[in-house]
Amino acid sequence: MSSSSTGIYLAIAGAAVLAAAGGAAFWYASQKSAGSPGAADQLVTVNATTCAPNAITVPGGRRSFEIVNASDRPIEWEILDGVMVVAERENIAPGFRATLEVQLQPGDYAITCGLLSNPRGTLTVTASDEASAAASEVTLRKFLGPLSEYRVYLVMQGNAAVKSAEALREAIAAGDLDAARAAWRQARLPYRRIEPLAYRFSDLEERIDPRAAYLEKREQDPAFTGYHRLEYGLFAQDSTDGLLPVADALVADLKELAQRLKQAPLDPGLLIEMPGESALQMAQAQVPEGENLYAGNDLQDFGASLEGIGKLAGLLRQVVAGVDPALDKVIDQDLQAVDARLAALRDRGFAGYGDVPRPEREQLSADLNRLSETLRKLQPAIGIN
């Protein structure tokens, strides 16, 4: 081999090492929770089959959990109140960790431990002065308008999700692959707009939007259903064959979701929490590697998610504008910055999200982290009386 060829190979190898190191650094940064300095209240290690500890007791109030992924698969970690997701961190890569902060009221909760098929652990939250004070801080009166308006938005987008899924089902039934692919891309958007609340129905979310990485047998797992199972068939297998039962089930589950959204429990604390938490989830769990691994249209999905966050933030800005106009202005600036970043990426016409360079993803993640940090300031600004 000539010396010039050797130099080329060494340069390529060096670039690969640097790329891998940069990717690992980005993953580590993206898994760190914004606004969480210092040690967490509770360390939770998730291995292949369980959590350690598997039974946790903490006093009520705002608590932080550091979740370490000691398994060989990406994981999500959730706190569940029945079928309702109280809080979660998702897409924690093997060997990495993430921090979750959440306001907890006294009660008994479940925690997920890696694969969706793994047994769940328990979280017991005991009474405390902090929890009692937090429960009495927010009054309902000034949130009646935003809560009512958001309910209307949920109902409209829930109905749109059903209709778009029905159009997808019709294209699959007709065996029209191109039409089904186009319908699938459109069908995702209403769901992404209401995902800040929709994902909290854990039983439905596990049927509507499970990802293969969280299932024991991945794409071959019987629990691989919903949007991503259809995506896999349409974009990875290039066929509509065998997808009609999956599409039927998706329509049925979305109809159930639409009904639940009409009566879903809404309160000021949840309304304040959702936009910042959703922006953080995008920054940490979605933007780094993407979610639509077969279709690659994540930028379109991210735009719909930002619309949902913007709707929530806009409702809350009605309240904050008269209390903290400076914060209102910063929220508007941060929302516009993320929107502009997404628009610029879409304008570049990438064939799929896999073609978006990692530095561009880092910038988008940073913008979303900044938006999340700004939205976290809503609680002290308007949530305390």
Helix extents (H) in 64-176: 129-135, 144-173
Q: Are 305 and 283 in contact, with CB atoms under 8 Å apart?
A: no
pLDDT at 165: 98
Model pLDDT, residue 139: 57
Contacts 24+ apart (CB under 8 A), 42-49: 42/66, 43/68, 44/68, 44/77, 44/111, 45/70, 46/70, 46/71, 46/75, 46/77, 46/92, 46/113, 46/114, 47/71, 47/114, 48/72, 48/73, 48/114, 48/115, 49/113, 49/114, 49/118, 49/119
The pLDDT assigned to 294 comes to: 97
- Give the amino acid at 57: T
Selection from 71, 74, 68 nearest residue 97 by Cα: 68
Looking at residue 218, what is its pLDDT?
95
Q: Report pLDDT for 128.
A: 87
pLDDT of residue 124: 95
DSSP string, 159-216: HHHHHHHHHHHHHHHTT-HHHHHHHHHHHHHHHHHHHHHHTTBHHHHHHHS--GGGST
Regions in the chain scoring below 50 on pLDDT: 1-37, 136, 138, 385
CB-side neighbour CA atoms (13 Å) of 186: 16
Provide the token pair at 355. Answer: 């073609």
Identity (one letter) of the amino acid at 20? A
pLDDT at 70: 94
Over the Cα atoms of the chain, what is R_g? 21
**pTM exceeding the 0.75 threshold for the entire prediction:** yes
